[in-house]
Amino acid sequence: MSFVSPLFLWYFMPAVLLALLVCPRSWRNGIVAVGSLVFYATGAGAFTLLLLLCMVINFVAGPALEPDVQDLRPSRRRRWILIGVIAFDLSILLVWKYAGFATEQLAWFAELLGGDFPIVHLALPIGISFFTFHHISYVVDIYRGERRALRNPVSFATYISMFPQLAAGPIVRYREIADQLPQHRSHRLDDIAAGFPRFALGLCKKAIIADSLAPMVDACFATPADEMTFAIAWLGAIGYTLQLYFDFSGYSDMAIGLGRMLGFRLPENFARPYSSVTITEFWRRWHMSLSRWFRDYVYIPLGGNRAGARKTYRNLSIVFVLTGFWHGAAWTFVVWGIFHGALLIIERAKGWDKAPSDPARRIARRALTLLLVAIGWVIFRSADLGYAFTMIGHMFLPDFEGLTDVIETAFTNQRLVILLAAMAVFFLPAHPVTGPLLESARSKPATILRMGLMTVGIAYAAILVATGTFSPFLYYQF
């Protein structure tokens, strides 16, 4: 079930919100947990059993990981329980997400030696990368003594399976939401009134902009390598840079808005990333919940930047190889992660990770950062590395070939207008960020934006959904 499907918008979401309004406050977590499992089962089917198995293992392990107040050092028993649970969580992720990729590499190597090796084909469970990271956050935060383990299985199921963030984030660390799981919520109508405009913003981003650009972008990236041109390469790069941002930030806005309507405050995930002046700043603004997760559970445990430049660069390299691999089992994702890790290391080594104060230099650095990000997205989106390098090569080799007939058909006047309007995000200032502004500000501009979204925006998006022009969220595949 997708947030932009008629089934969700006109039946599931109203039913859940109505149940929360009419039922006692103490039923909140139960309604959210049951509704979330139904939501997941409609899309994942039998994979719901895999999610439930992971939930049972991590829930049972939670109390055993709590430190004794008299323990000065972690006991060996708790340490081995933590290692075992994390190994279980990662093994589920590795088998279901990476077994096919691993066997493909082994088959390729075996072919070089004149042998044969079977390739495993496994369907990818929806949201497996996200609920795995939630489980790891839960057990690690308990082990560190930052939060107590949950004794109520319904509260635990609410955290792990909460449908706003289950399929594609934001990645909610346990310590960020643990204090919200007790059912103290009282202002239910206020929460719905505050969360719905944020949900409407995300729906408009997805249905009006991202889905409109999708056919054009798909046509560009489906162009045969020998037909690639300067114009197609740039149209595809810019189009996908915008499509991915409006698709994923739209999902995050919808998730945060839904969470607020359910009585939860989910963390922000985007903060105008295309206004960044450096790659370092970009990663403080793009998919922020993923960056924070890797910082807290990988980068800092490895030593962070506390052991000198050499180990800092090593730690950054490890984090960004894992970041790339987390997105998918393909070399394009790994190289994309290496590309960004290398850029961060270069910025840190040269002292370029700080934004310059001179306005002209800031504009130049912002343009360079956006160019590097767009190049990275070409690698990320391409079917293989060879195609990515071909497309990038054409971006820097001007010609007069123009567009193919297929792309001209996909590149309608409507999509041209939407593309030009979406490009405004490249020129907007870093602040204020639209999502939080909608929820909290009472200024005249924020009120006008809310009214526009709640009337014209939501109506047009609903028409697009009703006509079946929506597509799955891009991050569902990760």
Per-residue pLDDT in tens (0 to 9) along the chain, 478 residues: 788 888 888 899 999 999 998 888 888 899 999 999 999 999 888 999 999 999 999 999 999 999 876 665 668 888 999 999 999 999 999 999 888 888 888 888 888 888 888 888 888 888 899 999 999 999 999 999 999 999 999 999 999 999 998 877 799 999 999 999 886 666 678 888 888 888 999 999 999 999 999 999 999 999 999 999 999 999 999 999 999 999 999 999 999 999 999 989 999 999 999 999 999 999 999 999 999 999 999 999 999 888 788 899 999 999 999 999 999 889 999 999 999 999 999 999 988 888 888 889 999 999 999 999 999 999 999 999 999 999 999 999 988 888 888 999 989 999 999 999 999 999 988 888 888 877 766 777 777 777 887 778 888 888 888 877 667 777 666 6
8 A C-beta contact, residue 260 and residue 252: no
Give residue 282's pLDDT: 96
Give the span between the Cα atoms of 255 and 302, in whole angstroms.
31
pLDDT digits (tens, 9 = 90+) for 301-357: 999 888 788 899 999 999 999 999 999 889 999 999 999 999 999 999 988 888 888
- Does residue 115 sit in the same domain as residue 217? no
Question: Pick the catalytic residue: 327, 340, 394, 431?
Answer: 327
Show which of 153, 184, 215 is a domain's final residue.
184
Q: What is the pLDDT, as a whole number, of residue 134?
A: 96
Q: Are residues 100 and 199 in the same domain?
A: no
Does residue 155 sit within a domain? yes
> Which pLDDT score, from 0 to 100, does residue 470 have?
65
Q: How far is CA 415 from the centre of its chain?
A: 25
Same domain, 364 and 382: yes
* One domain for residues 29 and 176: yes
- Boundary (domain end) residue, out of 184, 211, 228: 184
pLDDT of residue 402: 85
Q: Is residue 21 part of a domain?
A: yes
Question: 120 in a domain, yes or no?
Answer: yes
The reply to whether 109 and 243 lie within a common domain is no
pLDDT of 478:
62
Of the residues 161, 184, 207, the one at which a domain ends: 184
Query: Are 111 and 160 members of one domain?
Result: yes
List, in order, residues 6 or more apart from 68 with CB less than 8 Å away: 75
Range of the domain at 55: 6-184
**Total tally of structural domains belonging to the chain:** 2
Distance CA 24, CA 9 (A): 24
247 found inside a domain: yes
Tell whether 139 and 208 lie within a shared domain: no
Structure tokens at 431: 């602040």
Are 215 and 160 in the same domain? no
Closest CA to 119 of 132, 110, 128: 110
398 three-state secondary structure: coil
Asked if the structure places residue 304 within a domain, the reply is: no
Residue 285 lies in a domain: no
Q: What is the pLDDT of residue 182?
A: 85
172 and 216 fall within a common domain: no
Contact residues for 398 (Cβ-Cβ < 8 A; gap 6+):
230
In a domain, 445, yes or no: yes
The amino acid present at 370, given as its one-letter code, is L
Structural domain contains residue 326:
no
* Burial class of residue 253 in the structure, from the number of CB atoms within 10 Å of its CB (0-12 exposed, 13-18 middle, 19+ buried): buried
Residue with tokens 């392990």: 61
Buried b (16+ CB within 10 A) or exposed e, 87-124: ebbeebbeebbbebbebbeeeeeeeeeeeeeeeeeeeb
Give the end-to-end CA distance of the chain in Å, rounded to a whole number.
16
Mark whether 160 and 198 lie in a shared domain.
no
Residues 130 and 213 in one domain: no
Crossing angle of helices 47-64/128-143, nearest 10°? 10
Can you tell me the distance from the alpha carbon of 372 to that of 366, in angstroms, rounded to the nearest whole number? 10
Whole-model pTM: value is 0.91
Note if 431 is an active site residue. no
Question: Do residues 12 and 141 share a domain?
Answer: yes
